[in-house]
Structure 1
């Protein structure tokens, strides 16, 4: 399989993922195996030719889609080492680092955020948001200690989740 075919597959997987390039969320279940397979094939190419800049760039994009920001940054840095740096690429690297920081700040893993979103969506379809975090707290209290809960609530609020419907709209979707 060549780089162009993998690039096309990555584009298709991104379209299937339900993610936008500016606001990453957990990719759809259907797209995850595609991203994993693309990543496997790219790593195979890089085992043969570690200086393939295009493969490093595509690997970075597939890792980003899987929300593996450390690996995405590492792969993109290797791409830059072979390709050279320009203003657009440096901006891209900065955005990857910013996204990594945002995900780390949220404390919850992407899968946990999706589960919280599913829980909120289910509950808010039956009752109206009372502009508090009652439903969010109930869900989190079952899984986390009081200290962890306080940190998680603060992180959700820092990302625009001041009530249950805002957590659903601004953080988990």
Structure 2
């Protein structure tokens, strides 16, 4: 479990690592994956601004229509994509709350191809819980939190939930009538 102070420290460290790796913030664009990734991207942009004196633009990248599991999940509304300017020849930092299988990030990479050709794409996540199904690796990780597949990781952020916390829990067993491929 991470408490508010742990989340704050992790984001501050990630912000410093992003600035160091990219030799500043001048060419950065942060794109959060809805829902919580958007708020994390905004926080990271603000922290980078405090550190570097230049606040990179932060926006959102909805990957719903690029997912490879649309038929396996219940229908949901489209999120919002808000790209703050041209991403061509910029360094795009994708921001998400939890990295697990890598499928969401794969979808994000497909979505970015439709928006332009960035110089580089980097990935920042608050929590990496393992269980990769695709060869995707985060460049910046707040906390590696090894979990079993029977566990859940829930990120709560003050902007949406009233507090900052990362909770580890247990999944309820699937009903016997659940189809193969359904996800809890």
What TM-score, normalized by structure 2, do the two folds share? Answer: 0.26
Name the TM-score, length of structure 1 as normaliser.
0.28
- The structure whose residues are more often helix, as a share, is 1
Larger radius of gyration: 1
Give the number of the structure whose residues are more often strand, by fraction.
Answer: 2
Higher relative contact order at CA 8 Å, sep ≥6: structure 1 or structure 2?
2
